[in-house]
Amino acid sequence: MTRPLRILFGLLLAALVFAAGCSTVPDGNLKPGTETITPAQQPAQLILLPNEMPQGFSLIEKRAKNETDVSQLALELGWRGGYVARYQKDEGVSLPPTVISQNIAVYPAEKLPEILQRIRTMAGSQQQITLRDLPDPGIGDSSSAIVAFKEIKPEVTLQGFSSPAMNIPESTSRIMPAGGQHPEYYEIAFTRGDVYEIFRMSGPSADYQTLLGLVRTAYQKT
């Protein structure tokens, strides 16, 4: 074999070995340096489809996430990929739209408890937002739910009060901002294996039970 042919053969062999040793995720979701790690589930396969959404909601965004979409902290904690989808329902010219978002992220499974704690802490530090914990929805390996209000002072305690118009579960309606303020958004998060999913519903038609139903549907996906 001539020297040029030996060089070409060597290069082809090296390329084959490299390809065999790497597994990749569609949309280029893996963080550099983790190419040999494939998430247990592909984020794109877990996104809710238009026919699974409530009537009147239209898809406005659906895409894979890359490193520019997440924080440095997420990368340091081992972020491996993600996907986002957003649906919107127009409420008329005088009202903002109602939006449902689904964010999926893949991390090392052992890091998820720390990640959940950090995310909850950061959410609670938002300016002019008051969070209320809702009952654990009991979905996946671990889960949580919150309702968020714009801060209005003074607050009042409404004993035994529940208003269907505000779409608040009975167990969370005892402490509400004055004036029957409508929630800014509801949020439900859960984990399963190495996947973290967070759902948010905001806007005039935001409803906890609707969001909970969507989360349960999403959890059935494999």
The H or E element containing residue 83 is: strand 81-89
Q: In terms of pTM, does the model score above 0.75? A: no
CATH of the domain at 210: 3.40.1000
What is the domain count for the chain?
Answer: 1
Assign 218 a pLDDT band (cuts: 50, 70, 90): very high
User: pLDDT (tens digit, 9 = 90+) per residue, 158-183?
Assistant: 444 444 445 555 444 334 444 467 88
- CB of 36 closer than 8 Å to CB of 198: no
Distance CA 72, CA 174 (A): 38
**Tokens 């990929």 belong to residue:** 81
What is the residue range of 169's domain? 3-219
Using DSSP's 3-state secondary structure scheme, residue 137 falls into coil
Assign 153 a pLDDT band (cuts: 50, 70, 90): low
Residues present in the chain in total: 222
